A and B are shown apart, each in its own frame.
Chain A
Amino acid sequence: MSEEKLPEPHSPAGALDPFADPGLPAHEPRVTDIDEKAARRAERQVSLLFVISMLATIGFIASYVSIDKYKIIDIFFFGKIGALNLALGCTLGVALFCIGAGAIHWARTLMTDEEIVQERHEFKSDPADREGAIREFQRGAAESGFGRRSMIRRTMIGAMALVPLSGVVLLRDLGPLPSVALRHTWWGKNGKNGRTLIINENTNKPLRPEHIVKGSLVMAKPEGLNVDNHDYLEEIGKAAILLIRLEPDEIKSKKQLEWSYNGVVAYSKICTHVGCPIGLYEQQTHHLLCPCHQSTFDLADDGAVVFGPAARSLPQLKITVNEKTGFLEAIGDFAEPVGPSFWERG
C-alpha cells in the first residue's frame, strides 16, 4: 500500500494527444487553512452546534420526565397536538440535527481537504503461497480418506442433504389446511336449500323487504352468527352481505331477477379480487366500488365487473320471504366460493 501525492497529469503522446487526461485541478486552500482566526471561529461554531445538541438531549429527558403524556395543546396550523410528542420530537430532532450539522461543518472547514490517491494492490496471492495452500489441501484430502472410502462419503452427503427436510416439515405448523372452508359460508349451515334468516347488522333484527327502500343500503349477516362466537371474524369474513332494492325492470340478468325478491337483491360484501369488504355503493348508478383497488361491480347486472382488477362477478345470494313471518331469508349458500380466487378453485 502506498499513499502518494496526486501524480502529474501525463500524456504519452505529448501535447498532440487530443484526449490527454487533464488530471485534477490544483489544490486550493480554504479560508480556514490560511486564516487562523477563521479556523478558530469555525472551531467555536462546531463546538456550539455540539453544545446545542447536548442541551436538546437534556431538554428531551426533562420533557420526558415533566410533561404529562395526555396533555393536549392547541397550536396554530398544527391544531391540537400532544404536548409530550411535540416536545420529544423537537428536542430529539434538534439534538440529532446539530450533531450532523456540526460534523459536516467540521469536515468542510477544519479537516484536511487535500485530494489523495490510494493505489489498489493486486488481489492475487503470490505463487508460492498458492502452491502451498493447494499442497496442504491435497494432503488433508488424502489423509482423511474422503476420496478412498466412498461409503462414508456417500452416506455423509446423504445425511447432509436430508437435514433441511426437517425445516420443510415444520412449515406444516403454519396453520391448518383450509380444506373446504373456502367453499362454504355460514349461509349454508342449514343445508343446500335450507333457509337462513337475514339479520340487519345495525339493529341485530330480521329484515322485511319493505324496510329496504329504493336507494338504501343494508349491511347484513346470517342468523346465529354473533360477535361473541369464537369464530365470528373468520365466518363474517365470508358471510357478510349487503342488500339493496332495484326496480325489477332495472335488473338486466334473468338469474339475478329469479334470485331476488321483488327487486331486493343480496350480494356478497367480499371483493372477488383480494377480499376487501366492499361498500362504496352509488345508489344512482347501482355500481359498487371496492375501496382497495377500485374494482367496480354493476349490481343491476349480476354483479359484473365493470372496472378494476377483479376477475369474477360478485356472488349473489338467493333470497326469498318467509310466508308466515314476512322476514327475508336466504335459500342455501352462495353458489360459488366468495372472496378472492384461490388455486384449487377451478
Chain B
Amino acid sequence: MKKLSARRRHPLAAIVVLLFALAATGGLYAAFAPAKSAQAEDAPSSLAVEEGKKLFLSGCSSCHGQAGQGTSDGPSLIGVGAAAVDFQVMTGRMPMQQQGPQAPRKPTAYTQAQADQIAAFVASLGAGPSVPNRDEYALNGNIQEGGELFRTNCSQCHNFSGEGGALPEGKFAPPLKDVDPKHIYEAMLTGPQNMPSFPDAIMPPEQKKNIVTYITGVTKDEPNPGGLGLGRLGPVSEGLFVWTIGLGLVIAVTIWIAARTPKARTK
C-alpha cells in the first residue's frame, strides 16, 4: 500500500487511473448491455417523437390543439397516422396559409426529416396508417387494371386522365400531374380533406400500386397525338375553344380584311 501511495504522484499515475476507470466502465456496460439494447432501439424514435412534438407545438398546435385533439380551426389528428402527416406536410398543404375552403398544394415548409419527426409524434397520439414503403408505390403495377380501378373509384372527381375537377363552394379535386407516387398512395390511404379514403380492406395495396402506376403513366408519359389536350376534357373544352378563340380569330381576320381599303385615294 505504501508502495502504491508513494507512486501516486508519478507522471504515469493519471494514465493508469484512467485505464482502470475505462476498464471499469466497459465492464459495467458489458454487464448491463442486454437490458440496455432494448432501450437503445427505441431511442431514435422517441427522440423523433420529442423533436416532432416541438415542431408540432410551434407549427401545428394553434389549429390542431396542443395534444392534436383539434380545435374549432382544425380537425383532431388523433388516429390519422403518419401517412396523413407525410402527405399534408410534404405536399405543402399543411401548415395552411389561411383558413379557406381547401388547403392548396404549395412549396413545403418543412424538410422530409422534420416531416418524419412530426409524423412520428402524430402517430404516437393514436394508431393510424403509416407511411408506405418504397416498393408499395413502385411504378411496376398493372397499368390496365389500374385504369379500370381509377375509372371506378377516382375519375368522378379527378377526371379520367387525372386533370382534376371542380367541387362545390370553392373546393376542387386537384390535378394529379407531377404528384409524387408516394403522395398519391398516401392520399388514397388517408383521404385528405374532402377526399374519401380507400383503406386496404376496401382497396388492397397491390390495387393502389396499379392505380399509382396508371396515374403516373397517363399524366406523365402519355402523348397527345392530336396536339393540345385542352385539359383532355373532350368535346366540351374543344367546342369552347373553337367557338370562342377559333371563331373570334375568323371574325377578327374578316374585320381586318374589310378595314383595309384597296382604293388608290385614301381618306
Contacts and interface: CB of A to CB of B under 8 A. Distances in A.
Interface in B27-58: none
B54 to A, nearest CB: 29
B197 A283 contact: yes
Size category of the binding interface on chain A: 35 or more
B264 A28 contact: yes
A287 B168 contact: yes
Contact of A283 (B195, B207, B263): B195
A296 interface: yes
B95 interface: no
A216 B191 contact: yes
Interface in B153-167: 153, 156-157, 165, 167
B157 A279 contact: yes
Contacts of A203: 202-204, 207
A81 B225 contact: yes
A223 interface: no
A26 to B, nearest CB: 11
Contacts of A279: 153, 156-157
A280 B195 CA distance: 9
A79 interface: yes
Centre residue among B156, B157, B194, B207 by max chain A CB count within 10 A: B156
Contacts of A244: 196
A104 B198 CA distance: 62
Interface residues on B, range: 35 or more
Given A78-B227, A280-B157, A216 B202 contact: yes
Nearest to A207: B202
Given A86-B227, A202-B153, A291-B165, A282 B199 contact: no
Interface in A100-121: 104, 108-109, 113
A201 interface: yes
B266 to A, nearest CB: 9
Given A202-B207, A280-B156, A82 B168 contact: no
A289 B167 contact: yes
B142 to A, nearest CB: 13
B262 A32 contact: yes
Interface of A: 28-34, 72, 78-82, 85-86, 89, 104, 108-109, 113, 200-203, 207-208, 210-213, 215-219, 244, 277-285, 287, 289, 291, 294, 296, 307
13 contacts: A30-B263, A78-B224, A203-B203, A203-B204, A203-B207, A211-B199, A212-B202, A213-B197, A215-B196, A216-B197, A280-B156, A280-B165, A283-B197
